[in-house]
Every structure is written in C-alpha cells, then in structure tokens.
C-alpha cells in the first residue's frame, strides 16, 4: 500500500484503521469502542477492552518461542553478559511480581524504580505491568532533591533500587542518594527493595529496606497470573527530563500503548519475531520504556539491555554486539553518533553488520553531516525520527514497513499514521500550508493510541500546558518550530522557548548549529541565546573541533572562529552570525546524550545552572564558565 493512502486512512477513517492495528496484540476482552473522543483533549482508546502489557511482551510468546532469546544483558562496566529466554524472563518477572506483592503492592499502587541498566530493572517494570501496579521509573543517579520531588508526586508504595550504577568505570552509589531523597520527601514508601551488585557498601534501614536476593529466593517458583486491565487503565507515569518546580508526570494507558508499540515495530522499525533489537538508550527515558523494554518484546524480538559507553573498551563495542547477536534494527541518538565520529572510522568496517536493516536516530535534531557520515560508514539506511516523552512513539519519520520511501538528511520525515500534524502561526493560530513557512508544530486531536492521557494527578495542567498555547485553537503544541518542504517533509528548527530573538529577528538554534556543523573541522556544536542589552539576545556558539591542532595558538583559534562566522554569514546571513564561537574539548550532556543547552545558557548569563546530576562530564560546564569569564 502507498504510504499516503495508509496515512490518509488513519486520519479520515480512524476507528477502522486502529481496529486493524489492534489485531497485532492479544486481548482478554475485545475493545467495545475504538476511540472515545467525547471529552477532548482526554481521548480514550479501546474502551471496554481488557489486556495486559506483560502478557503481550512475555506470556503470549511462550508457546511459539519460549526458548528464544528475549533479554540480552551486556555490561561493559562489570564485564557481565547474560541471555534470558522468554521462558526464563517469564520466571524472573513472576518472581519479582511475587516479591512486590509480598511487600504490599496491589493493582493501582505506584512503584518507583530508581535503577541502573540491569536485568532486575526490566523485571521490575514488567512485574508492575503484570500485576497492574503503575511504575514510575526515575533515571538512575538523579539528585536527591529531584528524586524526592518525584517520590512526593508519585506516592509509591514500594521503591526498587540498587547499591550503585557504573559509568565509564566509575561507580556511582545510589543508596545514599535514595536515602537522602526519602528523608527529604514528605511521602514515605512502605518498603524499599534493593539489588546488591556488590559495587558499593549499603546501610539498610530495618523494617523498610529489603534484599532482593533474599526475597526472590523465597519466591523462586511462585506463579503470579497477569491481571487483566482495562485498556484505559494507567500503565505508567514518567517524569519529563529537565522539569523545574513541580514535576510533570506523563501518564500513559495500557491498551493504546500496547497497540501503538506493536504497530510501530512493524511499520516503522521493521521488526520481525525472532530478530534482535538494540536501543542504546536508558530505561529512565521514554525511548527505554518503548524501545528497550516493551516494543521489541511485544514484537517477539530479543532486546539488548546495554550498560556502558559507546567507546569503552573501544569505539567498536556497539558494532561487535550487532555482529554477535545479529541485530536487525538499532536505535540511538545523534549525539552518540557524533561521539563515534571522533573515533577511528575503521571500527565501522571491523565487524559483520550484514544483519542490520537500519539505524534509527532520535532524541535531538540530526544534522546532515552526521547523518551522511554514519550512513556512508554503515552502508544501511539511517532513519531519523522525531517524538517526545509525551507522545510515547514517533510523530515524524519514514515508515518503511508500509512503503519504502527515501529519507532526506536533516529531516525526520513525514507525519506518522495517526498523527494529524500541522504547522501554525504562534500568534494568530493560522495554519501555514505553504512550503518553508516557519511556525509551531502542533497536532490536531484526537491524538493517537499510546499518546499521554494527561499529566499525573493534574488534568488542568495537561490542558493548560499542552492544549492552550495556540490562540483560538485547541491543538497539542510540541513547542518546536518547524517548516515543511514542497514534498511534505518536516524540518525541526528548535524549541519555541529556545528561539533566539536578535534585534527582532527570530532564529532557531537548529539553523545556526546546522550551518556551523557543516564546517569540515567541527565535530559538535551547541548554540544558545544569551541576553544582550542592545539586541535583546545574541547567539553564542560552543564547538568541539575534530583536529585540535587547528587551535595551536590564539591566532589559529581566531582564524577558525572567523571561518565559522563567515560560513554562517554565507548560509544564513549576518543576522544569524554568533557573537562568539568558543572552542571546547567536550560539550555538557546528560548520560543519555542530550545536550544541556539551558545549563550552557545559564552559565553564559551568570545564573545558576540548576540540577546537573545527570551531566556526563562535570568539567564540560566548567570549561564554558572559564571561557565566558575570561
């Protein structure tokens, strides 16, 4: 089928389209209504249906592929590697479910998971789904204050954690952070379940803290059936990264999410039962929920859970796993590719990558030079995709599982089936239908299955934040600027709240970054808007060079800075020229690879950079501070 027809049916004949997609999962009770749009923007999918995420991810595969690999755990931090079959995963999840129930967890209770990338974290997520508990995964290593605010908001009955995580060979103790978070929180959970990896000593609190190894031994053979849940019940909440003040918990359903993931694995990610999927994300983020844990398993695939860096022990580690486990589809972030881009390109040719159908990239805009480099190096399609924690699965991409289409470097693609994506004027709400007209990317309701239901415990905030920002229209705002070309491909130009307003000219950070990154000696770049008394704001660029010898002295650095500025002048015009281009050895990023642009901006403006617990390299921000203050 032509993708245009497939997409049109998803918008114009929504119920029939999604009724077909619902056949991709197992239902205990078939849905009675496909889309209940009676109370916008609170859309309910597959009402009357009953199902279970864990059943679809694990149990239903036991008869056909019980001995097939399901979860492949690889830690280059500890040197551990283990493959769990679907049958073994089934047993582990039941054991975890039994332990959670023994600690008092019941259907509808919250379980907060604060874990490193270890199998027990996946067992805990699936166990919650199995018994109908609502999991709230918090990125491992989050600061105590951030953790406390999430504990207060989620009010979990049980917290599942571990002694420590490890990153780049450096142990990060979790238990002291958790203890402080619990001390600061006004809500106190009934129990804390701890996995002792033997990486860091732990002080335990009598009566509250419980050892996983001890309790799991007591429930080694306990059988825990799946709870059949309403499709519209809550599966999990996930706090959006970078929130300030009161945490914003994205709330997801059960049935709609299962259907959306099953469909996306088939139509977008080219997944087939029995194949292997490798997402390099973290379970603390939405990609980890959708495409490490639930999506691949629902599709009957093996999924790789990787703890480690992309360049340790060397820059070939990921590709060695592709070869070893015959990875069919891989999902990573542009920042990770830029890290690899600075390594020896021979690593891309060292391993047999013939099993790999495509590399999918998301999490931030993919610049054209990076896309071309990895595309040429791997020799497989590189498919960008754009989405958010709120959406749960891609909004814009190329659905090659429906019809093979060409990618355009720099564009994440076209609207995904089910998403009625528009571009509107931010002040008037007028729809911008012409090519290259810049506006806010919005989604007309009903939003598709798998999309957030609301903000946890705060419907008013859900409506006010997401559905009320465009004058005269109730549409979901992505808060991203975008344009559409003559072929219908979208280009994301940066956050509406990261727009640089220079002397009345509105410039997206993405446009300037794209221009700078096209310089042959620029590996990475971050552009932020900095307050300026004369112009309102000016653009400030921080770049990592490929060949540091080009910065041999101050004169050479000034020469390179001049070249970069001229490049921006030539491509975007003088108005977009950064006030300064400063060169650093590393950019500040989270451990999942996201650039901390707001922290950079805060440092440039002499403000507090906020919670930097998740920063990969603390020296990165200090470099910027030193340059700014020099």
pLDDT digits (tens, 9 = 90+) for 247-268: 789 999 999 999 999 999 999 9
Domain of residue 613: give its range: 499-629
Q: pLDDT value at position 564?
A: 94
Q: pLDDT value at position 504?
A: 62
Count of domains in the chain? Answer: 2
Same domain, 463 and 511: no
Same domain, 41 and 134: yes
> For residue 253, how many C-alpha atoms fall within 13 Å in the half-sphere facing its CB?
27
494 close to 487: Cβ distance less than 8 angstroms: no
Does position 107 have pLDDT exceeding 60, yes or no?
yes
Same domain, 507 and 418: no
Same domain, 466 and 519: no
Q: pLDDT value at position 192?
A: 98
Closest residue by Cα to residue 614 from 245, 143, 162: 143
Same domain, 574 and 614: yes
Same domain, 33 and 152: yes
Most confident range (mean pLDDT) of 96-105, 504-513, 576-585, 608-617 is 96-105
Same domain, 446 and 508: no
Q: pLDDT value at position 394?
A: 98
pLDDT digits (tens, 9 = 90+) for 467-493: 999 999 999 999 999 999 999 999 998
Distance CA(102)–CA(217), nearest Å, equals: 13
Q: pLDDT value at position 363?
A: 81
Which comes out higher in pLDDT, residue 88 or 619?
88
237 close to 117: Cβ distance less than 8 angstroms: no
pLDDT digits (tens, 9 = 90+) for 54-71: 999 999 999 999 999 999
Looking at 450, 479, 508, the residue that finishes a domain is: 479
Q: pLDDT value at position 142?
A: 79
Q: Does some domain include residue 577?
A: yes
Q: pLDDT value at position 489?
A: 97
Residue 505: which pLDDT band, with cuts at 50, 70 and 90? Answer: low
Q: pLDDT value at position 589?
A: 87
Q: pLDDT value at position 226?
A: 98
Same domain, 444 and 507: no
Q: pLDDT value at position 535?
A: 76
Structure tokens at 557: 């650095």
Distance CA(311)–CA(319), nearest Å, equals: 11
Q: Average of pLDDT values for 161-180?
A: 95
Same domain, 155 and 67: yes
Q: Can the peptide bond before residue 41 be classed as cis, meaning omega within 30 degrees of 0?
A: yes
Q: Does some domain include residue 378?
A: no
Q: pLDDT value at position 242?
A: 38
DSSP 551: G
Looking at 430, 447, 479, the residue that finishes a domain is: 479
Q: Does some domain include residue 529?
A: yes
User: For position 128, which CATH number holds?
Assistant: 3.40.50.12780
Same domain, 171 and 221: yes
Same domain, 526 and 456: no
User: For position 526, which CATH number holds?
Assistant: 3.30.300.30
Q: Does some domain include residue 344?
A: no
pLDDT digits (tens, 9 = 90+) for 129-163: 999 999 999 988 777 888 998 999 999 999 999 99
Q: Does some domain include residue 623?
A: yes
Q: Does some domain include residue 323?
A: no
Q: Does some domain include residue 400?
A: yes
Q: Does some domain include residue 512?
A: yes
Q: pLDDT value at position 243?
A: 35
Instruction: Give one DSSP letter per residue of 325-341, joined into a string.
Output: HTEEEEEE-HHHHHHHH
Does position 498 have pLDDT exceeding 80, yes or no?
no
Structure tokens at 50: 């009953």
Q: pLDDT value at position 497?
A: 67
Looking at 479, 513, 547, the residue that finishes a domain is: 479
Q: pLDDT value at position 404?
A: 96
Same domain, 222 and 188: yes
């Amino acid at each position: 089928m032509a993708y245009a027809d497939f997409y049109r049916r998803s918008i114009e004949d929504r119920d029939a389209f999604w009724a077909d997609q619902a056949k991709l999962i197992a239902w205990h009770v078939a849905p009675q209504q496909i889309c209940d749009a009676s109370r916008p923007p609170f859309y309910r999918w597959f009402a009357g249906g009953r199902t279970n995420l864990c059943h679809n991810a694990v149990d239903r595969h036991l008869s056909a592929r019980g001995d097939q690999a399901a979860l492949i755990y690889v830690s280059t931090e500890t040197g551990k590697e283990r493959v769990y079959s679907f049958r073994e995963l089934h047993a582990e999840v039941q054991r975890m479910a039994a332990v959670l129930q023994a600690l008092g967890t019941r259907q509808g209770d919250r379980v907060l998971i604060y874990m490193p990338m270890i199998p027990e974290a996946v067992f805990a997520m699936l166990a919650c789904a199995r018994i109908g508990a609502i999991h709230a995964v918090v990125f491992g290593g989050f600061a105590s204050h951030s953790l406390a605010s999430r504990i207060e908001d989620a009010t979990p009955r049980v917290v599942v954690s571990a002694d420590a995580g490890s990153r780049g060979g450096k142990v990060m103790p979790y238990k002291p952070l958790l203890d402080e978070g619990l001390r600061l929180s006004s809500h106190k959970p009934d129990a804390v379940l701890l996995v002792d990896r033997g990486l860091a000593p732990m002080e335990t609190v009598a009566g509250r803290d419980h050892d996983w190894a001890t309790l799991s031994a007591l429930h080694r053979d306990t059988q825990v059936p799946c709870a059949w849940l309403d499709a519209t019940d809550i599966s999990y909440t996930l706090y959006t990264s970078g929130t300030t003040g009161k945490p914003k918990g994205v709330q997801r359903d059960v049935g709609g999410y299962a259907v959306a993931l099953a469909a996306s694995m088939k139509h977008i990610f080219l997944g087939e039962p029995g194949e292997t999927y490798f997402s390099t994300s973290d379970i603390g983020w939405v990609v980890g929920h959708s495409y490490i844990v639930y999506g691949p398993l629902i599709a009957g695939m093996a999924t790789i859970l990787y703890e480690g860096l992309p360049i340790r022990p060397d820059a070939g580690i990921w590709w060695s796993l592709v070869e070893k486990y015959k990875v069919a589809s891989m999902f990573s972030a542009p920042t990770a590719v830029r890290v690899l881009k600075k390594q020896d390109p021979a690593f891309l040719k060292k391993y047999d990558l013939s099993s790999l159908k495509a590399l999918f990239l998301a999490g931030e805009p993919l610049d054209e030079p990076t896309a071309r480099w990895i595309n040429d190096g791997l020799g497989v399609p590189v498919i960008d995709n754009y989405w958010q924690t709120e959406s749960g699965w891609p909004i814009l991409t190329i659905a090659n599982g429906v019809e093979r289409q060409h990618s355009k470097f720099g564009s994440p693609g076209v609207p995904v089936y089910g998403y009625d994506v528009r571009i509107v004027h931010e002040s008037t709400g007028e729809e911008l239908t012409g090519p290259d007209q810049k506006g806010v990317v919005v989604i007309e309701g009903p939003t598709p299955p798998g999309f957030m239901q609301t903000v946890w415990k705060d419907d008013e905030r859900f409506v006010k934040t997401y559905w009320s920002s465009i004058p005269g229209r109730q549409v979901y705002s992505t808060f991203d600027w975008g344009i559409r070309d003559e072929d219908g491909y979208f280009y994301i130009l940066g956050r509406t709240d990261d727009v640089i307003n220079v002397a009345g000219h509105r410039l997206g950070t993405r446009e300037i970054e794209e221009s700078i990154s096209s310089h042959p000696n620029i590996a990475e770049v971050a552009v932020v808007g900095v307050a300026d008394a004369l112009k309102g704001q000016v653009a400030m660029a921080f770049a990592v060079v490929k060949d540091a010898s080009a910065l041999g002295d101050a004169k050479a650095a000034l020469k390179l800075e001049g070249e970069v500025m001229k490049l921006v002048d030539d491509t975007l015009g003088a108005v977009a020229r950064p006030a300064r281009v400063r060169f650093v050895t590393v950019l500040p990023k989270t451990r999942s690879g996201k650039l901390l642009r707001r922290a950079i901006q805060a440092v440039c403006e002499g403000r507090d950079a906020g919670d930097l617990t998740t920063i990969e390299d603390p020296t990165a921000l200090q470099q910027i501070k030193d340059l700014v203050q020099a």
